[in-house]
């Protein structure tokens, strides 16, 4: 199978083919996920919670992200590889460029992901202008959990929904080539996905996005307190590879998320 590239993902959106993304933090899981057909591996700063045992993603450092991204990159065969830019590593464009350089040169990432809307437009434009592929992230932004007052649905009222629509279009115009929507009402996510030309990946954002992403540990039922939008795909199956394949299959045919995993 050919390597997945940003062009592959753009074509999948145009053709209406759903994109399957999962987080991954080390080399060991990569073969099973790729065999299952996962298109995109995300080295998320969620590793701070599921691997390191922190209560948020904030303690994750750039060194941590480079290390884990490199671990995944060494085992990667065909999947597209995205790495999160950790908290306070992209506070201004110059710092963001230095962070992206390390994640791509040392870590082997194909794309970097950052959180934020209007405040990040200049940074996204700067990164894109230097040839750095950018994935934006709107809705629930875990790095801003203390400002948001917890992990909760975003864009549920008219003003915040309109702000998110504007941010999504502005990020695309600034050069973002992918967007993650987290914990967003399904109808708003459907509208944003339809208006943007770039792939929109949902997590707790309904089934009408161009693809889905989940934390691998949730898919394997290892999270003590499972998010409402997640699903244990290992339950009733005999291996990690089978669980990953079931996830990919459900994403491809639009069966995941199911009604009970859709946020409103």
Enzyme catalytic residues: 182
Give the separation between CA 93 and CA 124, rounded to whole angstroms: 8
Give the separation between CA 48 and CA 57, rounded to whole angstroms: 5
Block residue for tokens 């450092």: 61
Those residues with Cβ within 8 angstroms of residue 23's Cβ, 6 or more apart along the chain or in another chain: 41, 42, 43, 44, 46, 47, 213, 214, 215, 216, 217
The answer to whether the beta carbons of residues 141 and 119 sit under 8 Å apart is no
Give the separation between CA 183 and CA 185, rounded to whole angstroms: 7
The answer to whether the beta carbons of residues 117 and 184 sit under 8 Å apart is no
User: Would you say the C-alpha torsion 25, 51, 21, 45 has a positive or negative sign?
Assistant: negative
């Amino acid at each position: 199978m050919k390597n997945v590239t940003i062009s592959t993902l753009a074509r999948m959106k145009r053709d209406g083919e759903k994109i399957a993304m999962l987080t991954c933090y080390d080399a060991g899981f990569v073969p099973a996920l790729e065999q299952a057909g996962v298109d995109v591996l995300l080295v998320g700063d969620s590793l701070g919670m599921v691997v390191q045992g922190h209560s948020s993603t904030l303690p994750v450092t750039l060194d941590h992200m480079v290390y884990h991204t490199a671990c995944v990159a060494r085992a990667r065969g065909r999947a597209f590889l995205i790495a999160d830019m950790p908290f306070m590593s992209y506070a201004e464009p110059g710092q963001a460029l230095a962070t992206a350089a390390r994640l791509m040169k040392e870590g082997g990432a194909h794309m970097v992901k950052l959180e934020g809307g209007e405040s990040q437009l200049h940074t996204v434009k700067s990164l894109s202008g230097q040839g750095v592929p950018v994935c934006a992230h709107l809705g629930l932004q875990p790095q801003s959990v203390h400002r948001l007052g917890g992990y909760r649905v975003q864009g549920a009222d008219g003003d915040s929904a309109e702000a998110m629509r504007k941010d999504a279009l502005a990020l695309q115009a600034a050069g973002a080539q992918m967007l993650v929507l987290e914990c967003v009402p399904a109808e708003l996510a459907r509208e944003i996905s339809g208006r943007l030309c770039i792939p929109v990946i949902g997590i707790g954002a309904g089934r009408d996005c161009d693809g889905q992403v989940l934390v691998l540990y949730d898919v394997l039922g290892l999270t003590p307190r499972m998010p409402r939008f997640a699903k244990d795909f290992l339950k009733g199956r005999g291996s990690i590879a089978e669980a990953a394949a079931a996830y990919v299959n459900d994403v491809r045919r639009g069966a995941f998320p199911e009604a009970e995993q859709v946020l409103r």
